[in-house]
Amino acid sequence: MPATPPELGRPAFYALRRGGWRDLVTLLHPPYTAWHLSYVALGAAAGRELHADRLLAALAAFLLAVGVSAHALDELHGRPLNTALSRRSLVWLAAVGLAGAVAIGIAGCVVVSALLAPLVAAGAFLVLAYNLELAGGRFHNDAWFALAWGGFPAFTGYFANTLTVRPAGVLVSAACCLLSLAQRRLSTPARELRRRTIAVRGEQELTDGRVVELDRGRLTAPLEGALGALWLALVLLAVGFVAVRG
């Protein structure tokens, strides 16, 4: 059996060495969590005015719901990150993360507006439906990923700040849906190459006569290179837009 290249020995390009506190960091999927939190900020920045307290609360809620709870539930299902975290720890993280996010949402309903209640309920449903693959996995596909982790965070960030629905918020949410779909289309083959591929055999013949040997590293590099550039670009873009509005 071919040896796994050192650069592909981890379950994700951002995964740390297995064990201890490093598993908690890996569990958060830092680049992807930052990516999806950027959608919240972009949605908030699309409104006519920006309420810093509402934005911070929304970011905290999505950090708990997506960064902690959703990713803990995902690790419970098949251990894709191969962490040493116990099942009990993952269940605890998932429950506390979701409860904390819902608590922030309920506080928002009381302090800001009861109009936020449907978004709080929808957010909790999406975390459970997607990551527990409810209804036979009908909510666990590319379309629902784009909606749940792209469009929904952006729209929530927008609506929490404006309490209205206007074209700007809808357009930004649609754009974030498409960005999330692009992420999925890149990350799915990258994960397959890292986690479920033993070897790749083949070659690429170029027009100048050169022949390039294909292997896991060569196929994975452009996918993860694009993902690495995109998450950082989205974070910088979100920070820039918030700074302009601040």
Q: How many CB atoms lie within 10 A of CB 114?
A: 9
Please report whether residue 59 resides in a domain: yes
Amino acid, res. 150: G
Task: Work out how many domains the chain is built from and give that number.
Answer: 1
Please report whether residue 43 resides in a domain: yes
- Residue 26 CA to residue 16 CA, distance in Å, equals 6
- Spell out a b/e string for 32-58, using b for 16 or more CB atoms within 10 Å of the CB, else e: bbbbbbbbbbbbbbbbeebeeebbebb
Please report whether residue 183 resides in a domain: yes
Range of the domain at 54: 6-245
Residue-level pLDDT at 36: 97
Please report whether residue 145 resides in a domain: yes
Q: Residue 155's closest CA among 126, 119, 201? A: 119
Please report whether residue 16 resides in a domain: yes
Give the three-state DSSP class for 172. Answer: helix
- Asked if 162 contacts 143 with a C-beta cutoff of 8 angstroms, the reply is no
Please report whether residue 1 resides in a domain: no
CA 25 to chain centre: 14
Residue-level pLDDT at 1: 42
| DSSP single-letter state for residue 78 | T
* Length of the chain (residues): 246
Please report whether residue 11 resides in a domain: yes
Q: Residue 158's closest CA among 17, 56, 47? A: 47
Please report whether residue 204 resides in a domain: yes
Give the three-state DSSP class for 204. Answer: strand
Written as tens digits, the pLDDT of the chain (246 aa) is: 445 555 688 999 999 999 999 999 999 999 999 999 999 999 999 999 899 999 999 999 999 999 999 999 999 988 999 999 999 999 999 999 999 999 999 999 999 999 999 999 999 999 999 999 989 889 999 999 999 999 999 999 999 999 999 999 999 999 999 999 999 999 999 999 999 999 899 999 999 999 999 999 999 999 999 999 999 999 999 999 999 987
